[in-house]
Amino acid sequence: MSSANSQPTASATELRSATYRPLVSIVYHSGSGHTAEMAHAVARGVSSGGEVAVAQHRIVDEDFKGSRWLNEEVLRQLDESDAIILGSPTYMGSVSAQLKAFMDATSSRCPERKWVDKIAAAFTVSAHPSGDKLTMLMTCSVFAMQHGMFWVGVAEGSSLGIFLGAAGRATNEPPSEMPSAEDKMTGELLGRRVAKLTARLHSSRVSTPPTTEDSPEHPSSRKTQLVLGV
Ligand SMILES: Cc1cc2nc3c(=O)[nH]c(=O)nc-3n(C[C@H](O)[C@H](O)[C@H](O)COP(=O)(O)O)c2cc1C
């Protein structure tokens, strides 16, 4: 992932081969920087145990032409990732339009079921204590289910009482002040949990690779592809 705002410059293959570790990718949008603070906290959590590599992509205007997603490199990196964590501010009770445009572009991965059995999670920041953040996280979890991914929520640390993902509050304060340290800790704990589960899943796959008998094709697979317009 290599836009101007992306933190890592190495490709997924380089990240993996340099480290022999599974890869957790974070894709997020942030209008004024508060969700970006949460993304960095999640990334700190992911990398804290040293078991997995982490890549971050902040969605930027250059990723689009009009409302259409153009950045195939990000999608390719996600194809190679073991876990994908989504983030955006809550806008009008849902994901931001920028994150939604990205999510819609991933429908190109549905026909081949490319993201099945990857781990998924999400985080959000909004102004109000509730602010309908939950519906933003539900949108992300349904998205993950459509891809056949495993959803991971937060196990601890949510002072807002939200467990479907990491949630924080911020309005017009500088991003260095809000979301609060406590909210960022929730993000960090989510990152740690995703990393731990990703490493565990990865090592179980290395020791017992799946066989075709483990996942026979469901008779409705073709029907699903037809519904998705393939
Ligand atoms: C278009 C728009 C819609 C918003 N909708 C909500 C909302 O539904 N609930 C809420 O609590 N805050 C809402 N907010 C406030 C933002 O979620 C909040 O300011 C957040 O911290 C912005 O994150 P960012 O700095 O990463 O862009 C909205 C802000 C904008 C600009």
pLDDT at 204: 87
Give the Å distance between the CA of 107 and the centre of ligand 1: 26
Q: Atom 9 of ligand 1 has which residue's CA nearest to it?
A: 131
Q: Is the confidence at residue 218, as pLDDT, over 90?
A: no
pLDDT at 223: 53
Q: Is the confidence at residue 209, as pLDDT, over 90?
A: no
pLDDT at 178: 96
pLDDT at 156: 82
**102, 63 contact by CB (below 8 A):** yes
Token pair listed for 162: 């939200």
List of residues 6+ apart from 14 with CB closer than 8 A: none
Residue with token string 């495993």:
150
pLDDT at 4: 39
pLDDT at 205: 81
Amino acid at 216: P
Sketch out the chain's domains with CATH numbers.
12-227 (3.40.50.360)
The b-or-e profile of 17-34 (16+ CB within 10 A means b, else e) is eeeebbbbbbbbbbeeeb
Question: Distance between CA 159 and CA 228 in Å, rounded?
Answer: 39
Q: Distances in Å between the alpha carbon of 152 and those of 53, 129, 196, 222? A: 18, 22, 11, 28
Give the Å distance between the CA of 39 and the centre of ligand 1: 16
**23, 12 contact by CB (below 8 A):** yes
Q: Atom 16 of ligand 1 has which residue's CA nearest to it?
A: 126
* 31 touches ligand 1 (CB under 6 Å): yes
Mean pLDDT, residues 56-64 taken together: 96
pLDDT band (50, 70, 90) for residue 66: confident
Q: What are the pLDDT digits (tens) for 175-203?
A: 999 999 999 999 999 999 999 999 999 98
Q: Atom 19 of ligand 1 has which residue's CA nearest to it?
A: 171
Atom of ligand 1 nearest to the CA of 175: 25
Q: What is the mean pLDDT of the chain?
A: 89
Q: Is the confidence at residue 6, as pLDDT, over 60?
A: no
Q: Angle CA(27)–CA(71)–CA(40) in degrees, nearest 5?
A: 20
Q: What are the pLDDT digits (tens) for 76-98?
A: 999 999 999 999 999 999 999 99
Q: Distances in Å between the alpha carbon of 55 and those of 9, 12, 141? A: 9, 8, 21
Q: Atom 22 of ligand 1 has which residue's CA nearest to it?
A: 89
pLDDT band (50, 70, 90) for residue 100: very high
Q: Is the confidence at residue 158, as pLDDT, over 90?
A: no
Amino acid at 224: T
DSSP state of 56: E
* 127 touches ligand 1 (CB under 6 Å): yes
pTM, entire model = 0.89
**121, 190 contact by CB (below 8 A):** yes
Quote the longest CA-to-CA distance of the chain: 54
Probe target for ligand 1 pocket from 92, 100, 130, with the most ligand atoms within 8 Å of CB = 92
Q: Is the confidence at residue 14, as pLDDT, over 60?
A: yes
pLDDT at 159: 81
Mean pLDDT, residues 70-78 taken together: 97
* 8 touches ligand 1 (CB under 6 Å): no
Q: Distances in Å between the alpha carbon of 52 and those of 2, 15, 67, 102, 198? A: 19, 10, 33, 24, 8
